[in-house]
């Protein structure tokens, strides 16, 4: 399938405004600006800010509560951004769409970012936050028996690793959207879409360097696809994009999970790029796809769904 025409126009716009060598502060500001420009804010979802105990101090978080879903499923959400950018506000619209369409509560976590806090600070925060939500689910209106974890991009990689390190625990299902699962990998999609498709290889390598010495050597803590044992993990919904350098990592993880006896439904969204799900106003197809992803995951948490609702692209 060719690039979606709105995606193509977005990439043209990004190419015209591209600034190689953008400082980290500049990049963080650009992501916030893109979120304001493109993000959606569906009605019927309330929110409140929380403070959770973290491994080295308080962690900011935000609870999203759709009308009428007290005591139902919940999702711990870890935002994308290469572990160096992104925050509660850049992914506010994404979390609202997930909560509204999926009819579940979302707890979004503002984990520490590199380079100020080198890896594994982000993973340590993700683990601590997940443990807290699992232990206090009833207090935030979530059924502890129907708790999922998810994220996008690097946040999806964190979510996958939390499932590996907390296997057999409270997490019932995992939602991985355009996941970064092997930062040291060299699969075909990393070569085919190395430049010009929003997320590029130079950015991946720059983010990896910013994560510090603990990220220099391949490790399943940063690259969950490299975990040798995938048995006993919660079922997964994995969504990738056709023109995304990390596409093949998500597909490979779904295949390995299935071989390990873990239910894994993988959907590759044709014509899309990395972060398509956050480009609602700029890429109109993105929002209904994200809503469908949320509905399917909500059914998964409720135990009603065993198959993806969207066909996988070849």
Q: Which residues are catalytic?
A: 153, 244, 274
Radius of gyration of the chain (CA): 18
DSSP H helical segments within 222-263, as ranges?
Answer: 247-259
Distance CA 239, CA 269 (A): 7
Q: How many residues does the chain have?
A: 314
Residue 75's φ and ψ, nearest 5 degrees, are -135, 125
Using CA atoms, how far apart are residues 162 and 185, in angstroms rounded to an integer? 20
Q: Is the dihedral of CA 211, 216, 220, 223 positive or negative?
A: positive
Burial 115-135 (b: 16+ CB within 10 A, else e): eebbbbbbbbbbbbbbbbbbe
- List beta partners, residue 107: 63, 76
Strands (E), 211-263: 236-243
């Amino acid at each position: 399938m060719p690039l979606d025409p709105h995606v193509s126009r977005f990439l043209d716009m990004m190419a015209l405004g591209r600034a190689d060598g953008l400082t980290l502060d500049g990049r963080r500001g650009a992501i916030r600006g893109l979120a304001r420009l493109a993000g959606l804010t569906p009605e019927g979802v309330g929110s409140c800010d929380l403070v959770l105990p973290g491994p080295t101090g308080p962690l900011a978080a935000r609870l999203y509560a759709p009308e009428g879903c007290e005591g139902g499923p919940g999702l711990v959400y870890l935002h994308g951004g290469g572990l160096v950018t992104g925050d509660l506000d850049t992914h506010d619209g994404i979390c609202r769409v997930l909560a509204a369409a999926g009819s579940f509560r979302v707890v979004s976590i503002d984990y520490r970012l590199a380079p100020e806090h080198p890896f594994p600070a982000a993973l340590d925060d993700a683990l601590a936050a997940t443990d807290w939500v699992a232990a206090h689910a009833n207090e935030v209106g979530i059924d502890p028996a129907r708790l999922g974890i998810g994220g996008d991009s690097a946040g999806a990689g964190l979510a996958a690793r939390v499932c590996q390190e907390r296997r057999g625990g409270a997490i019932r299902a995992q939602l991985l959207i355009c996941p970064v699962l092997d930062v040291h990998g060299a699969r075909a999609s990393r070569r085919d879409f190395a430049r010009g498709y929003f997320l590029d290889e130079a950015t991946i390598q720059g983010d990896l360097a910013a994560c510090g010495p603990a990220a220099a050597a391949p490790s399943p803590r940063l690259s969950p696809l490299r975990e040798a044992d995938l048995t006993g993990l919660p079922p997964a919904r994995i969504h990738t994009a056709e023109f995304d350098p990390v596409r093949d990592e998500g597909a490979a993880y779904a295949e390995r999970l299935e071989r390990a006896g873990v239910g894994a439904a993988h959907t590759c969204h044709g014509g899309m790029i990395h972060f398509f799900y956050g480009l609602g106003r700029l890429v109109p197809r993105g929002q209904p796809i994200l809503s469908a992803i949320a509905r399917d995951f909500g059914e998964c948490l409720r135990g009603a769904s065993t198959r993806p609702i969207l066909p996988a692209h070849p």
